[in-house]
Amino acid sequence: MKDNIYNQLCTNFDTLNLSQMKLNLDNVIDDISSNKVSISEGLLRLTNCEIDFKLKNAANSIVRVAGFPFQKELKDFDFDFQECVNQQKLLELSKLHFLDNNENIVFLGSSGVGKTHLATAIGIASAKQRFSTYFIKCNDLFMQLKRAKLENRLEARLKNYAKYKLLIIDEIGYLPINQEDSNLFFQLIDMRYETKSTIFTTNITFEQWDKIFFDAVVANAILDRILHHAHIITITGKSYRLKDCLFNKE
């Protein structure tokens, strides 16, 4: 009789996709039988196992679909090599309080200094906390928006990018930005302004944005919205890509 109940319970777990409850069932039954825990405590333990497993899977799923170029976190960043980066400031940002305040982060510095690594690290921290997060290169963003405009679905595409709790736009200013790009970029930034958080990486100083963007007025309007509530992280160190080469010469 007990075997029939046990087998039916396992079948029910399979039907309901409760794999962790099934996996931990025997241990919980043993603890209940030996009076180590009550039936209620045993059920609580089983459900906690299942909830923890599903939450972890949900976080991993958000990380997978976020479009990160690599899986690098803050612990992988060499703060000793890049001494100009305030490690405590980055650790504080990784706690994600800036998301609660709809604040932005701008990583500013020349090529190879670790801007994308740091932006990705904070993005992964956000995704692991199950915040909707998406990473995209600036040029890819422009291409997607222009294609959507040609296909008469620009509004839907803008709303799609505007919905993310955290959007990461990488490499602003590495490629020329024409008038159409400028206008489309402004629309997106304006939609996210004071409602969501965005991380930007750029090698262009803010004084140069009016030269990079086709229209200086639009460039200033974009900057005004980005910088109004923003943490600016300026990186002036050496290129990570030259790190091994530099060390080998020493």
SS (H, E, C) 118-166: HHHHHHHHHHHCCCCEEEEEHHHHHHHHHHHHHCCCHHHHHHHHHCCCE
Q: How far, in Å, CA of 92 to CA of 62, rounded? A: 22
CB 136 within 8 Å of CB 106: no
Per-residue pLDDT of the chain (250 residues; tens, 9 = 90+): 567 888 898 999 899 999 998 888 888 888 888 888 899 998 999 999 988 888 888 888 888 999 999 999 999 999 999 989 999 999 999 999 999 999 999 999 998 899 999 999 999 999 999 999 999 999 999 999 999 999 999 999 999 999 999 999 999 988 889 999 999 999 999 999 999 999 999 999 999 998 888 889 999 999 999 999 999 999 998 787 666 554 444 4
The predicted model scores a pTM of 0.83
Q: Domain residues of the chain, as ranges?
A: 2-64, 74-249
Class of the domain covering 74-249: alpha beta
